[in-house]
């Protein structure tokens, strides 16, 4: 034994160690590859030896070589050998090598399972640590499954060093083996409160990573994280938590409101830029998720913008960059706050760093307005001139075009200016965006009719000076603009001043150097011009000139007839023959102009790029169906149609239908290759085959590229700058005119004042120079709504979307099923068992025992609750309630107030500020709304769970319920009564209380109140086939007896079905999960699945129950009718005004309108009513006019424009589903007819 070791260490002395290898490589710079290959041979020899020290040394060297890019996968087994060494020195090297070299495809990984398990349970913490580290790099689904339980055990290890690593690696395990998440989560959550800060931070890390991907499952942890956030001082942890909140707030807006304050505090106090940046980002995210136009948050936005300005002004390029990045996020929702920093952004355009300049450009895109567009573009044009390096210049060019053309040229007031900008851009040397400029020219010329004359003149000049542009004939080079120029001149030739001149310019011999597709357009449009010229001459009866024109064409066209480009050749010869024929007629003095012009009559309309896709497939047409019976396999082999040039391949569709096996395919492929190789007409793809030109075509004449450093001025072209000046003058003048008029007109209106106009002129004041008529692109009738599905099905995090809430609390949770438990190694053949493993085995059964006893407990509690689905919902609801309660009560009542109400009643802050304990009527007044107000996906307070909640709360809720009933009975005078109670003085009249509860049915025993159906719409959007609607029903016991065994049943219709638990028959009733003592009321929720939502629905139902008195018990029943209004399918969805405008512009929506007479209520009440009863949100409100938006659970957009004047309310509505819209309007009408 000893001898062996001696021998080993002597061997080692002669071997190269890592240092020698590195040194050797550095000394053999010239023949590195050769040197390394000899080294690898040595290493192979070393690996064959028995001595583990030698092997480890060899593996260490291999790890180094692997980094240099050499393949070492052949040594995978040796790496495993070194990993299994009992000596830490070698084990460490082995694991390092494995973590660097192994990946999922490495097959020896499956040999490592037992070794890793042994190391994980080693008494030496560093053995365990090294194994965990290694595992984090190469964990596979198999390893994750087999080791999940071991790692989970390590999360409770005595040493924080191990706990910390175990917690972190769990994330990797979850990714590979999602089934482990549920069983491991409780322990992971425990670690959030670990005494060791390192472990705590690791747990925060893991949960944050999980939650970022699937936030909705982690909402219930919000209070815990909130506590951590306010108590932690560790910036690393804080950043993670704040990031997590950023992910949670879109799902829970109330959380966002609570966050604003601590976050702004942090922004003020922290000195760490990373934390500041994270806070700013999250505040932005929060404000985006809250509805727009919240006045009390403008301070937060202002703070963010201020801080970002400081970042941008910093000399540190990194901060500058990030500042701009965050600024662009604010820009999307609060453009006004950013626009005031335009100067700063423009400064950044001069920055040395290109990435900063590009960021600034991105920002500019969103900052333009009608007012400043010209100015900004002028600055950009200066930069274009200055810019060195074509990439940045091209970027500028595309940005200029993007900025100008955004939202349908919204900000362009003067199209002459824009055309001249485009023309100026054509002077850029070596740009790759000729095509982009060309398409803009075409688009503007076609869609802005008023500009055509001007555009044509410009294009004619361009054509005349074409020689300046033809320097660069590469594809997409600037010569592409000639394509547009030629087409515009030809198509709109009637605007040309001197068509003859242009025609002549288009037929110059130099044209033949242009790319083929441009020549083709030249030829075609020359013909159009020819027609125009003819007509002109015939009008003037100048037959001489007309004949000269024909002669010109006959002289020049043969050049194109010889073109190598087929398209050019074909068009040229066609037109040449035509002209020759015309010449003959002309010589006979026949008038031809009219007929020639008729060739090109008719106008081309722009068609939307997606128009084709949007054509709906007519009913009954199955595009996948075969028109004829598919021919059989044998036929297609033998009877191939004879092709002239090359044999055609069998059509794809055919091969798709007939199932061809792999072999057959391979054989065919081979045959095809062979065939192509032999076919002289087939251009081979292989790089070896050189391009052969049959004749020295004109394209290959070398063209000298002239590099002109002085920017060219094309003679006779107007500069865009002139337009800027002109436009300014025009605006000045207009303004002056307007002022005069305004003075006369608005003298009496001055009292009101215009708030938004801080600048000298507002957007609306600027009228376009011409009457601009932007022709919209044509879309087919009944275009389909666009379908955008951007979820990546391959995202590994998708599998981790697992509901964890019900795991967390003891009662009513869904316990771990047996199948969900982590696999525990039980019977595996093992030769040896180390003592450590024995210990390991002992702990596991205990673990399972604990779990199963827990299961039993939980099952007991769950006994009567069999409706899994709705129960889960409730569970979640309860959690939400907790969120609300456990968060520091900084905004007690205000927070729960509805968003829509807030928007409307911005003034009644005094009422909203009422505190919890004060039983002022103002607070009470807002309470009824509380029930209804929460976000649609977030759910309502479930009252039957309130036993567990605080008593105060209980009392409050009771009060509330009384109030509901009260509203019901005295619907009309409730408002008056309340305002009497309410002693506070307010600026604007407070909102009358509103209730969505209506009587469903009543008898002497029980009263059923139904809340207007609420929707639960899965955020994932599973509304393809059906949508879910939740109905809350309040049961009130009116009798003196005890009511029990209540069963709720509904007769399903084809469209709407009550959701019953699995296994229940379609006619079974649902047990109401509570009993009612005398005088008590409680609420239950029922889930319905609905297929079509465009029509209101009525369902018949029965409630059966047992009335139990001291002496007897009787069965009773109560029939009711459930009415699903179309409104109940709408979800209050906030919509920003720009998105709203786009929606309306899109033209996909059908309109309808409604007039309500004699509505006697303030406008804001009216809006609040629509918001509250019909689930709309206010997009914008100007005086007595407001736009409102809502969305159905199936994604229909519903837009309203509400106007009110002297008791008459008119509602113009648009929706993509006319029948839904009609029904909603009817319902709105009904709401107002009631009051």
Q: What is the 3-state secondary structure (H, E, C) of 465-522?
A: CHHHCCCCCCCCCCCHHHHHHHHHHHHCHHHCCCHHHHHHHHCCHHHHHCCHHHHHHH
Residue in this structure with the two tokens 């107007």, named with its chain if needed: 718
Residue with smaller CB distance to another protein, 191 or 867? 191
Q: How far is the CB of 274 from another protein (least distance, A)?
A: 3
Q: How far is the CB of 312 from another protein (least distance, A)?
A: 12
Q: How far is the CB of 806 from another protein (least distance, A)?
A: 28
Q: Which helix (H) or strand (E) holds 918?
A: none
Q: How far is the CB of 44 from another protein (least distance, A)?
A: 19
Residue with smaller CB distance to another protein, 5 or 1139? 5
Q: How far apart are CA 1028 and CA 1012, in angstroms?
A: 14
Name residue 1042's beta-bridge partners: 1108
Q: How far apart are CA 74 and CA 1026, in angstroms?
A: 54
Q: How far is the CB of 23 from another protein (least distance, A)?
A: 8
Residue 715: count of CB within 10 angstroms of its CB: 9
Q: How far is the CB of 273 from another protein (least distance, A)?
A: 5
Write down the number of H helices and E strands in the chain: 48, 16
Contact 1177, 1134 (CB under 8 A): yes
Residue with smaller CB distance to another protein, 137 or 719? 137
Q: How far is the CB of 281 from another protein (least distance, A)?
A: 8
Residue with smaller CB distance to another protein, 72 or 451? 72
Residue with smaller CB distance to another protein, 64 or 600? 64
Kindly list the distances between the CA atom of residue 1132 and the CA atoms of 201, 328, 785, 994, 1197, in Å, as whole numbers in the listed order.
Answer: 38, 27, 21, 16, 11
Residue with smaller CB distance to another protein, 288 or 514? 288
Residue with smaller CB distance to another protein, 6 or 599? 6
Q: What is the DSSP track for 50-98?
A: S-HHHHHHHHHHHHHHHHHT---GGGHHHHHHHHT-SSHHHHHHHHHHH
| Of 138, 61, 52, residue with least CA distance to 91 | 52
Rg of the chain in Å (alpha carbons): 39
Contact 411, 368 (CB under 8 A): yes
Residue 1066: count of CB within 10 angstroms of its CB: 9
Residue with smaller CB distance to another protein, 320 or 871? 320
Q: How far apart are CA 357 and CA 351, in angstroms?
A: 6
Q: How far apart are CA 8 and CA 54, in angstroms?
A: 7
Q: How far apart are CA 892 and CA 926, in angstroms?
A: 12
Q: How far apart are CA 1174 and CA 1132, in angstroms?
A: 8
Q: How far apart are CA 1174 and CA 1194, in angstroms?
A: 16
Name residue 1057's beta-bridge partners: 1089
Residue with smaller CB distance to another protein, 361 or 1118? 361
Q: How far is the CB of 39 from another protein (least distance, A)?
A: 16
Residues sharing a CB contact under 8 Å with residue 741, sequence separation 6 or more, in sequence order: none
Kindly list the distances between the CA atom of residue 905 and the CA atoms of 112, 147, 334, 839, in Å, as whole numbers in the listed order.
Answer: 66, 58, 21, 66
Q: How far apart are CA 255 and CA 327, in angstroms?
A: 23
Residue with smaller CB distance to another protein, 3 or 985? 3
Q: How many CA atoms lie within 13 A of 868 on its CB side?
A: 7
Q: How far apart are CA 771 and CA 46, in angstroms?
A: 86
Q: How far is the CB of 146 from another protein (least distance, A)?
A: 17
Q: How far is the CB of 320 from another protein (least distance, A)?
A: 7
Look at residue 1215 and give its three-state secondary structure. Answer: strand
Residue with smaller CB distance to another protein, 97 or 493? 97
Q: How far apart are CA 724 and CA 769, in angstroms?
A: 12
Residue 334: count of CB within 10 angstroms of its CB: 21
Q: How far is the CB of 139 from another protein (least distance, A)?
A: 9
Q: How far apart are CA 805 and CA 968, in angstroms?
A: 36
Tokens of 719: 């500069």
Q: How far is the CB of 89 from another protein (least distance, A)?
A: 4
Q: How far is the CB of 353 from another protein (least distance, A)?
A: 4
Residue with smaller CB distance to another protein, 80 or 143? 143
Q: How far apart are CA 1044 and CA 1067, in angstroms?
A: 21
Q: How far is the CB of 384 from another protein (least distance, A)?
A: 21
Q: How far is the CB of 413 from another protein (least distance, A)?
A: 34
Residue with smaller CB distance to another protein, 88 or 693? 88
Residue with smaller CB distance to another protein, 137 or 660? 137
Q: How far is the CB of 119 from another protein (least distance, A)?
A: 14
Contact 325, 337 (CB under 8 A): no
Residue with smaller CB distance to another protein, 138 or 1088? 138
Residue with smaller CB distance to another protein, 125 or 465? 125
């Amino acid at each position: 034994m000893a001898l062996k070791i001696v021998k080993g260490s002597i061997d080692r002395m002669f071997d190269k160690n890592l240092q020698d290898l590195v040194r050797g490589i550095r000394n053999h710079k010239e023949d590195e590859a050769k040197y390394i290959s000899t080294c690898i041979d040595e290493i192979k020899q070393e690996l064959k030896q028995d001595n583990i020290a030698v092997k480890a040394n060899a593996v260490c060297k291999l790890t180094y070589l692997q980094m240099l890019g050499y393949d070492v996968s052949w040594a995978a087994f040796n790496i495993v050998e070194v990993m299994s060494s009992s000596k830490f020195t070698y084990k460490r090297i082995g694991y390092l090598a494995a973590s660097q070299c192994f990946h999922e495809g490495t097959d020896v990984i499956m040999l490592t399972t037992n070794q890793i398990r042994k190391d994980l349970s080693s008494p030496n913490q560093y053995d365990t640590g090294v194994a965990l580290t290694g595992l984090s790099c190469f964990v596979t689904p198999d390893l994750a499954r087999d080791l999940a339980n071991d790692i989970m055990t390590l999360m409770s290890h005595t040493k924080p060093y191990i706990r910390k690593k175990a917690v972190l690696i769990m994330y990797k395990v979850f990714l590979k083996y999602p089934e482990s998440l549920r069983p491991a989560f409780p322990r992971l959550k425990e670690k959030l409160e670990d005494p060791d800060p390192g472990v705590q931070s690791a747990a925060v890390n893991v949960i944050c990573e999980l939650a970022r991907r699937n936030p909705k499952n982690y909402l219930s942890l919000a209070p815990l994280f909130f506590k951590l956030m306010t108590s932690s001082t560790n910036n690393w942890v804080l950043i993670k938590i704040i990031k997590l909140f950023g992910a949670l707030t879109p799902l829970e807006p109330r959380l966002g409101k609570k966050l604003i304050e601590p976050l702004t505090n942090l922004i003020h106090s922290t000195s760490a830029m990373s934390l500041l940046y994270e806070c700013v980002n999250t505040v932005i995210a929060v404000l985006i998720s809250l509805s727009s136009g919240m006045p009390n948050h403008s301070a937060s936005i202002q703070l963010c913008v201020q801080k970002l300005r400081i970042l941008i002004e910093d000399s540190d390029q990194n901060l500058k960059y990030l500042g701009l990045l965050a600024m662009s996020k604010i820009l999307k929702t609060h453009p006004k706050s950013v626009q005031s920093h335009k100067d700063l952004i423009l400064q950044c355009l001069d920055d040395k760093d290109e990435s900063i300049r590009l960021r600034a450009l991105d920002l500019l895109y969103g900052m333009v307005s009608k007012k400043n567009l010209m100015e900004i573009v002028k600055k950009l044009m200066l930069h274009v001139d200055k810019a060195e390096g074509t990439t940045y210049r091209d970027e500028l060019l595309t940005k200029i075009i993007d900025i100008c053309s955004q939202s349908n040229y919204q900000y362009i007031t003067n199209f002459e200016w824009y055309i001249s900008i485009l023309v100026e851009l054509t002077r850029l040397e070596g740009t790759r965006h000729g095509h982009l400029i060309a398409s803009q020219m075409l688009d503007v010329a076609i869609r802005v009719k008023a500009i055509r004359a001007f555009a044509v003149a410009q294009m004619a000049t361009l054509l005349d000076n074409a020689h300046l542009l033809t320097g660069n004939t590469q594809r997409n080079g600037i010569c592409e603009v000639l394509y547009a120029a030629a087409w515009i001149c030809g198509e709109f030739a009637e605007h040309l001043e001197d068509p003859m001149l242009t025609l002549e310019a288009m037929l110059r011999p130099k044209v033949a150097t242009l790319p083929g597709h441009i020549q083709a357009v030249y030829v075609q449009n020359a013909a159009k011009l020819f027609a125009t010229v003819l007509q002109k001459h015939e009008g003037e009866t100048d037959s001489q000139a007309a004949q000269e024109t024909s002669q010109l064409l006959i002289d020049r066209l043969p050049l194109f007839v010889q073109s190598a480009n087929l398209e050019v050749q074909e068009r040229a010869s066609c037109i040449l023959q035509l002209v020759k024929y015309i010449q003959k007629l002309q010589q006979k003095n026949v008038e031809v102009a009219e007929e020639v012009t008729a060739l090109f009559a008719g106008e081309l309309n722009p068609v939307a790029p997606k128009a084709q896709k949007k054509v709906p497939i007519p009913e009954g047409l199955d595009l996948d169906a075969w028109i004829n019976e598919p021919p059989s396999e044998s036929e297609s082999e033998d009877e191939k149609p004879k092709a002239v040039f090359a044999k055609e391949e069998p059509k794809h569709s055919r091969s798709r239908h007939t199932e061809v096996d792999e072999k057959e395919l391979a054989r065919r492929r081979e045959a095809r290759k062979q065939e192509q190789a032999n076919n002289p007409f087939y251009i081979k793809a292989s790089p070896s085959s050189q391009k052969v030109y049959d004749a020295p075509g004109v394209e290959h004449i070398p063209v000298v590229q002239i590099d002109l450093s002085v920017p060219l001025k094309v003679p006779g072209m107007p500069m865009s700058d002139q337009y800027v000046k002109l436009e300014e003058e025009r605006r000045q003048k207009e303004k002056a005119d307007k002022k005069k008029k305004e003075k006369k007109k608005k003298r009496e209106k001055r009292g009101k004042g215009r708030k938004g106009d801080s600048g000298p002129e507002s957007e609306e004041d600027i009228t376009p120079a011409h009457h601009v008529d932007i022709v919209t692109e044509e879309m087919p009738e009944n275009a389909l709504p666009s379908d955008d599905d951007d979820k990546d099905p391959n995202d590994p995090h998708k599998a981790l979307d697992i509901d964890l809430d019900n795991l967390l609390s003891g009662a009513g949770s869904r316990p771990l099923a047996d199948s969900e438990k982590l696999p525990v190694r039980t019977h595996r053949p093992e030769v040896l068992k180390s003592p450590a493993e024995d210990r390991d085995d002992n702990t596991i059964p205990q673990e399972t025992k604990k779990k199963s006893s827990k299961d039993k407990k939980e099952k007991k509690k769950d006994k009567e609750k069999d409706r899994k689905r709705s129960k889960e919902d409730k569970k979640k609801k309860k959690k939400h309630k907790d969120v609300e309660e456990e968060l520091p009560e900084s905004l007690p009542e205000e927070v729960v107030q509805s968003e829509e109400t807030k928007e409307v009643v911005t003034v009644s802050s005094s009422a909203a500020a009422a505190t919890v304990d004060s039983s002022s009527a103002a607070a009470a007044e807002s309470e009824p709304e509380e029930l209804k107000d929460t976000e649609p996906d977030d759910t309502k307070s479930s009252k039957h769970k309130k036993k567990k909640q605080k008593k105060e709360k209980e009392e409050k809720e009771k009060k509330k319920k009384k109030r509901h009933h009260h509203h019901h009975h005295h619907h009309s005078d409730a408002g008056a009564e309340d305002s009497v109670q309410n002693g506070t003085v307010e600026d604007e009249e407070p909102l009358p209380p509103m209730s969505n509860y209506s009587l469903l049915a009543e008898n002497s025993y029980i009263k059923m109140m139904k809340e207007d159906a609420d929707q639960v719409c899965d955020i994932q959007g599973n509304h393809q086939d059906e949508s879910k609607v939740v109905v809350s029903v309040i049961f009130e016991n009116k009798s003196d007896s005890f009511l029990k065994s209540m069963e709720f049943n509904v007769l399903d219709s084809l469209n709407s079905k009550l959701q019953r638990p699995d296994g229940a028959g379609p006619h079974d009733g649902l047990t109401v999960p509570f009993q009612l003592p005398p005088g008590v009321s409680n609420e239950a929720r029922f889930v319905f699945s609905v297929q079509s939502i465009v029509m209101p629905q009525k369902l018949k139902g029965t409630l059966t129950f047992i009335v139990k008195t001291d002496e007897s018990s009787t069965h009773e029943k109560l029939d009711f009718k459930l009415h699903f209004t179309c409104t109940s399918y709408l979800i209050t969805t906030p919509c920003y005004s720009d998105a709203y405008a786009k929606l309306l512009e899109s033209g996909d929506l059908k309109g309808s309108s409604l007039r309500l007479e004699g509505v006697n209520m303030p406008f804001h009440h009216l809006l609040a009513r629509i918001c509250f009863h019909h689930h709309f949100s206010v997009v914008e409100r100007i005086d007595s006019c407001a736009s409102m938006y809502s969305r159905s659970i199936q994604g229909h957009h519903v837009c309203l424009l509400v106007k009110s004047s002297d008791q008459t309310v008119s509602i113009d509505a648009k929706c993509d589903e006319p029948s839904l819209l009609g029904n909603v309007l009817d319902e709105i009408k009904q709401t107002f007819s009631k009051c």
